[in-house]
Chains A and B, each alone.
Chain A
């Protein structure tokens, strides 16, 4: 928490993950989260990167997770559902504001279209 708190904002993947969890609501476990990010980003993200980042967000107290009951279709294994804590939401807001502030005025510049 200390490191994240010190910088007051989130890394890019951390920000994307919190937004994905918020969007998915009650269905936010590993598979839909990863697929949501793949869809939004237009490329396949490494699942290892996603799981490690989720774990770090949890350690920093920005998200919480809870295991579901064992599920037959997963060979008796549970799902880990994630939800965003208020601290996480606050961090995400600050990050979004930062991006918005930074972008302000950029449209007016002559940025070459690609």
Chain B
């Protein structure tokens, strides 16, 4: 065994020629001694030694920097606090964003699954030609693979579940769990802390139902009970015996904390189980080999009619869950941020250049005293390194805090492969970014300023400004800052609209929850409105209304601010005129539960919610005004139409009018709300009007739902006032990020404008002096000096306004309710930008006008 080649070369480079042979051989001899114990340890040891040799070589090299440079840089930073702080904050924001994105991207692009054979783990996905067909493999296909595959070392399957878990008489709270095939699972799971893993015998008919739980569940909900093995817990209404506890940190398949045995053979062929299949590729094969073999094996069990359009893909495990979009998206975001970093750095470079122009005398003196070009460039590089180093440090600290906050918010619900910790690779990335920024902000201006001969007069220094490129960059930045600020304004308005309460409803007394009946492994999903689902709705309404402390209860497909669901309708009186409405399916008692006052007619009764009932609707006042000019509408008819104008549903008779409920606040594309009776469904919102504080009802509500049907998953239990918090959080985050980025870009643009105007004034001091001496007016003097900067400001504002309008359109299409572009924010941001821009060039302009002709001429 020999040391790694790259490291051997590095070592050779770091050694003096006369010592190279013997030291290299010494290290190789010791490497062999280490390798006899452990090759991996030997390689680690060798790498460490080489790094030490290389570090010594670098620090022994002729010094291009000195401690004095660092002192000078710090002194300079303190003398120009505003410029320094602007540069540091702007660079810190970009470096921070980049390393935060890198932390996420690392988990998607180079995921470390920390599982045995994790690098060969893949997810099997079916590609079926039939429209709407599931990409989940069917049991028969999985069995065919398990029996016949040779290219896969292991094939396993699981189903996600988040059933309510109840310990003795405690509350039933959902837990992330999986039904999983025991054998393949055992190949991935670590040794249990207590008890055993799942085994094949657990899947036999008549076997005791068992569960293996995670350490966090054991410590959290079972209070680290030492006698946990053999204890029974109720999961989805079924008593299961705990047979094992797995160590914390293990959360395969995604974030699970409880695992129950799954037998593929026991799944009835008529079922529609959402099986997720994973495979570990055999050592000498690739994922493509596995996909090809699985395709051939599946062909034997796929019905003849489907065979032609069906194929199998094996994706990397993480891509299998993110559809590959996360890794592609991460790469794109990282590249964009790098471009952004370069743009910000070039801006800071402009500031540095302006600073250099002011120091041209000092630099000329240094050159005259014998400082080499390398030495002067080195000094300027150290100055920029101090700035970007401080920025990287602030960026790292900020991201550390941000990641901690995200982890705390997620509370163990992040996928196990998402590693949100700052490790060496993240810090190394931050250092790399700081070096890129220093090179752009220090070396580029330094090389320009020292080009040709030794640094000379102010005039010569100023003439090397970054020229046209810097000016166009300035216009781009101005445009970006305007667009960002205008979009932030739009999001802020969306956020404001969410703060509005529905004027009609008494929200503080209503508790809501999302209910979903999991059909489980075997059952096919019942048809919408089937007798079984109607019965389920009636039972739920009864159970919820009967809770102690409950006044009314109802189910519906949405509650205010929860979802946006738009339908296109036409009225009988004006056929062919489409009208966009928020569409809500609401069970009987919905309006009473939300304390919605009735304006005219009646609300829904049980008779309206029967499958064979006469179709009726209740509409909101906004619709009545928009479509009927406020006339009486009870008895009028309305129906849903398709995009092409054909009828999509039968006519509905309007039986009542209610105020607007702000179902999707801020959406100005609709003309009101329409409510239709909810007949029966397995997904719904439950609302309970309480006579006590709403959250006090939570436990009783969960228990009542579990008694009605233990398969129902209950999530998002919250007072109606809290509904829509995710959207509010997204809007708040978006407003914050865009606002901060917009302000930073604006600040930088202003600094850039100031720098360009300053440079221009410095370089034309003599010319300005002559003009003034000859009796030139302020306009004559300022036009050549500030003309270009002002033109950039105009171009930037125009381009920014255009960009803002496009961004506004894009934002309005996002899945949460956002008002359409109101057109207020673009001119507002433009006015801000132009006035700030004029303020930035005011100081250099005043300096230009104060130049005394005699001083200007004498100075040369």
Q: Which of A49, A55, A78, A79 contacts B52 (CB 8 A)?
A: A49
Residues of chain A with a CB closer than 8 A to B25's CB: 74-75, 77-79
For window 20-37 of B, CB contacts with A under 8 Å fall at 21-30, 33
- A75 touching B28 by the CB < 8 A rule? yes
- A48 touching B29 by the CB < 8 A rule? no
Residues of chain A with a CB closer than 8 A to B45's CB: 44
Does B468 interact with chain A (Cβ within 8 Å)? Answer: no
- B26 touching A29 by the CB < 8 A rule? yes
- B56 touching A47 by the CB < 8 A rule? no
Residues of B participating in the A interface, judged by any CB pair closer than 8 Å: 19, 21-30, 33, 45, 48-49, 52-53, 55-56
- A77 touching B53 by the CB < 8 A rule? no
- A31 touching B52 by the CB < 8 A rule? no
Residues of chain B with a CB closer than 8 A to A47's CB: 23, 26-27, 30, 49, 52-53
Does A34 interact with chain B (Cβ within 8 Å)? Answer: yes
- B21 touching A55 by the CB < 8 A rule? no
Residues of chain A with a CB closer than 8 A to B29's CB: 31, 74
- For the complex, give the distance between the alpha carbons of A47 and B53 in Å: 8
- For the complex, give the distance between the alpha carbons of A78 and B23 in Å: 9
For window 74-92 of A, CB contacts with B under 8 Å fall at 74-75, 77-80
Interface band, chain A: 20 to 34
Residues of chain B with a CB closer than 8 A to A6's CB: none
Which of A67, A75, A77, A78 has most chain B Cβ within 10 Å?
Answer: A77
- B56 touching A52 by the CB < 8 A rule? yes
Contact digits for A35-47, partner B, Cβ 8 Å, 1 yes 0 no: 1000000001011
- B30 touching A78 by the CB < 8 A rule? no
A interface: dominant SS: helix
Residues of chain B with a CB closer than 8 A to A48's CB: 49, 52-53, 55-56
- For the complex, give the distance between the alpha carbons of A52 and B33 in Å: 22
- A31 touching B30 by the CB < 8 A rule? yes
Q: Which of A34, A44, A46, A80 contacts B22 (CB 8 A)?
A: A80
Residues of chain A with a CB closer than 8 A to B19's CB: 51, 55, 80
- For the complex, give the distance between the alpha carbons of A52 and B14 in Å: 12
Residues of A participating in the B interface, judged by any CB pair closer than 8 Å: 29-31, 34-35, 44, 46-49, 51-52, 55, 67, 74-75, 77-80
- B24 touching A34 by the CB < 8 A rule? no
13 A–B contacts from the bound complex (CB under 8 Å): A31-B26, A31-B33, A34-B26, A47-B49, A48-B52, A48-B53, A48-B55, A51-B53, A67-B22, A75-B25, A77-B22, A78-B21, A79-B22
> Nearest Cβ in chain B — how far from A66, in angstroms?
11
- A51 touching B30 by the CB < 8 A rule? no
- A77 touching B24 by the CB < 8 A rule? yes
A55's nearest neighbour on chain B, judged by CB, is: B19
B26's nearest neighbour on chain A, judged by CB, is: A30
Residues of chain A with a CB closer than 8 A to B33's CB: 31
Residues of chain B with a CB closer than 8 A to A29's CB: 22, 26
- For the complex, give the distance between the alpha carbons of A103 and B52 in Å: 34
Residues of chain A with a CB closer than 8 A to B23's CB: 30, 47, 51, 80
Q: List the 8 closest pairs (A to B, CB-CB), nearest first.
A: A30-B26, A48-B52, A77-B25, A80-B22, A74-B25, A48-B53, A46-B52, A77-B21
> Nearest Cβ in chain B — how far from A24, in angstroms?
14
- B22 touching A30 by the CB < 8 A rule? yes
A68's nearest neighbour on chain B, judged by CB, is: B22
> Nearest Cβ in chain B — how far from A54, in angstroms?
9
> Nearest Cβ in chain B — how far from A70, in angstroms?
9
Residues of chain A with a CB closer than 8 A to B27's CB: 47
Residues of chain B with a CB closer than 8 A to A77's CB: 21-22, 24-25
- For the complex, give the distance between the alpha carbons of A79 and B27 in Å: 11
- For the complex, give the distance between the alpha carbons of A78 and B28 in Å: 12
Which of B19, B25, B56 has most chain A Cβ within 10 Å?
Answer: B25
B16's nearest neighbour on chain A, judged by CB, is: A55
> Nearest Cβ in chain A — how far from B577, in angstroms?
83
Given A29-B22, A48-B49, 20 other A-B residues pairs in contact with their CB atoms under 8 A: A30-B26, A31-B26, A46-B52, A47-B26, A47-B27, A47-B30, A47-B52, A47-B53, A48-B52, A48-B55, A49-B52, A51-B19, A51-B23, A51-B26, A55-B19, A74-B29, A78-B25, A79-B25, A79-B26, A80-B22
- For the complex, give the distance between the alpha carbons of A46 and B27 in Å: 11
Residues of chain A with a CB closer than 8 A to B48's CB: 46
Residues of chain B with a CB closer than 8 A to A79's CB: 22, 25-26
> Nearest Cβ in chain B — how far from A63, in angstroms?
14
Residues of chain A with a CB closer than 8 A to B24's CB: 77
A74's nearest neighbour on chain B, judged by CB, is: B25
Which of B21, B27, B48 has most chain A Cβ within 10 Å?
Answer: B21
B23's nearest neighbour on chain A, judged by CB, is: A51
Residues of chain A with a CB closer than 8 A to B49's CB: 46-48
> Nearest Cβ in chain B — how far from A83, in angstroms?
15
- For the complex, give the distance between the alpha carbons of A103 and B25 in Å: 40
A67's nearest neighbour on chain B, judged by CB, is: B22
> Nearest Cβ in chain B — how far from A47, in angstroms?
5
Residues of chain B with a CB closer than 8 A to A75's CB: 25, 28
B32's nearest neighbour on chain A, judged by CB, is: A73
A48's nearest neighbour on chain B, judged by CB, is: B52
- For the complex, give the distance between the alpha carbons of A29 and B29 in Å: 12
Residues of chain B with a CB closer than 8 A to A67's CB: 22
- For the complex, give the distance between the alpha carbons of A80 and B27 in Å: 13
- For the complex, give the distance between the alpha carbons of A89 and B29 in Å: 29
B45's nearest neighbour on chain A, judged by CB, is: A44
- For the complex, give the distance between the alpha carbons of A48 and B240 in Å: 61
- For the complex, give the distance between the alpha carbons of A1 and B24 in Å: 27
> Nearest Cβ in chain A — how far from B30, in angstroms?
6
> Nearest Cβ in chain A — how far from B61, in angstroms?
14
- For the complex, give the distance between the alpha carbons of A14 and B53 in Å: 18
- For the complex, give the distance between the alpha carbons of A89 and B53 in Å: 28
- For the complex, give the distance between the alpha carbons of A51 and B60 in Å: 14
- For the complex, give the distance between the alpha carbons of A63 and B616 in Å: 104
Residues of chain A with a CB closer than 8 A to B21's CB: 77-78
- For the complex, give the distance between the alpha carbons of A57 and B56 in Å: 17
* Also in contact, A74 and B28, with CB within 8 A (given A51-B19, A67-B22): yes
Residues of chain A with a CB closer than 8 A to B22's CB: 29-30, 67, 77-80
- For the complex, give the distance between the alpha carbons of A27 and B680 in Å: 91
B46's nearest neighbour on chain A, judged by CB, is: A47
- For the complex, give the distance between the alpha carbons of A47 and B51 in Å: 10
Which of B26, B29, B49, B53 has most chain A Cβ within 10 Å?
Answer: B26
Residues of chain B with a CB closer than 8 A to A51's CB: 19, 23, 26, 53
Residues of chain B with a CB closer than 8 A to A46's CB: 48-49, 52
- For the complex, give the distance between the alpha carbons of A29 and B750 in Å: 65
B56's nearest neighbour on chain A, judged by CB, is: A48
Which of A31, A47, A75 has most chain B Cβ within 10 Å?
Answer: A47
B27's nearest neighbour on chain A, judged by CB, is: A47
- For the complex, give the distance between the alpha carbons of A67 and B56 in Å: 24
- For the complex, give the distance between the alpha carbons of A47 and B52 in Å: 8
> Nearest Cβ in chain B — how far from A74, in angstroms?
4
> Nearest Cβ in chain B — how far from A20, in angstroms?
14
> Nearest Cβ in chain B — how far from A109, in angstroms?
38
B14's nearest neighbour on chain A, judged by CB, is: A48
> Nearest Cβ in chain A — how far from B331, in angstroms?
38
Residues of chain A with a CB closer than 8 A to B26's CB: 29-31, 34, 47, 51, 79-80
> Nearest Cβ in chain B — how far from A67, in angstroms?
7
- For the complex, give the distance between the alpha carbons of A48 and B58 in Å: 13
> Nearest Cβ in chain B — how far from A101, in angstroms?
34
> Nearest Cβ in chain A — how far from B614, in angstroms?
87
- For the complex, give the distance between the alpha carbons of A35 and B33 in Å: 11
> Nearest Cβ in chain A — how far from B129, in angstroms?
62
A33's nearest neighbour on chain B, judged by CB, is: B26
> Nearest Cβ in chain B — how far from A58, in angstroms?
10
- For the complex, give the distance between the alpha carbons of A30 and B20 in Å: 13
> Nearest Cβ in chain B — how far from A77, in angstroms?
4
- For the complex, give the distance between the alpha carbons of A75 and B22 in Å: 11
- For the complex, give the distance between the alpha carbons of A41 and B375 in Å: 42
- For the complex, give the distance between the alpha carbons of A51 and B33 in Å: 19
> Nearest Cβ in chain B — how far from A59, in angstroms?
12
- For the complex, give the distance between the alpha carbons of A75 and B28 in Å: 10
- For the complex, give the distance between the alpha carbons of A44 and B55 in Å: 18
